[in-house]
Structure 1
């Protein structure tokens, strides 16, 4: 298994699939590379596709130190790219992965080709926050109740029921890495909550596509136009009826235009 070394010495686990121009897929908060399992092959059919485990998750180191932030996660991605010998890559980040991708594109424009920001937020005081009912569902004492709430925020009830009928007990990869220690979960949550790239968004030079489900309350859809107004010449794709995990449930709607966007111009 390949491991890169972060600036602070943390080992960062990553995997590569497919061939073609490089594409980095960045997962959401408290999740590892399995976040992308349902759709990774669709991208690997066209690109050399790199997925990684954030620090604190999967096969990466889990330091209990103050090294967790969205700009810090972006530097971790750079360390992985360096180790893989990739000078420039397309980047697709969803949820907290989209927050990380914002810093990657703003602070390191020479490393990013085309950029896709999915179901994400600019963070800070300008962002549209999730409602109190979402927070209340997430802080319940019963872990099974929290899991059920997360599933509802991620997927439509009909699709979720269909999946569970077809594959009883199937694993949903967007609910968090179950092996994470509690301190790492807290550090991920704090990193995401402290994200504020409002000013940085105007520095993004990469051609950018913003994707969001119209029924996302976990990260409200109203954040999509906020980002689009800040990133020069950004385009927006709204996926009708989709919740937070639009990229999985609505892959047949969302993935083709993302692939088309990524393929529009070769990397310089």
Structure 2
């Protein structure tokens, strides 16, 4: 499913992080209420995290600013590291079958990302070709094979893609000041494969997750064991829609790669497998799984 004009405004993204993380179970209700009390003057509808230092609530940012490097964490109101805090919780590690020998989760290895030269290998590989072009006194000209005059606009779509317009909405129909309920209705009916005019429920009461925390699993002698089936995830308020597995793959005698495999929700036996490798050099793909384009988004 493609979404035109995806909302990437940094101010909106920053100001919606706390609400997003709460609604997705990354932070619990107690923590969310503390945010609203301490950082928003008990007014969640007018809480501008982006310009927090301009108002009285900005002190909650400054309180941790001086110690952020010692604490190795973002300020309390930033919420850039909520997924990291969630994945460091012991009950979450137990649910994911993370062995005790594995150190606490970190979203990025700064040393790798800072020292990585993204363009070096490509530039070096092309130096010889550039030298030959210069010595031959040649100029490279690209001539397209096909010329298509852009003198018209046409809307084209095929099977599996529906073209809809939300009347009265602007470029960001899901935002609170446009048509969020109508947008949600479209998404839910698309996922459920029902008619788009089918009414849907918009407001659901919060119900704390139930369950007990399982004790840590002893470290096995062979890490390359069968995949571990995840039965539940802390703070997840609804049943898991597909089977999920975690495990380790051998890279060398001393290094292992952790993987999180999530089956397709529609046809796991026939649907293709997508390998998620976003995150950039030195960063974990779990950030994309939770915050960007993964199934928990």
Structure showing greater Rg: 2
Which category describes the TM-score, using the shorter chain as reference length?
under 0.3
TM-score (norm 2): 0.23
Which structure shows the higher strand fraction? 1
Which structure shows the higher helix fraction? 1
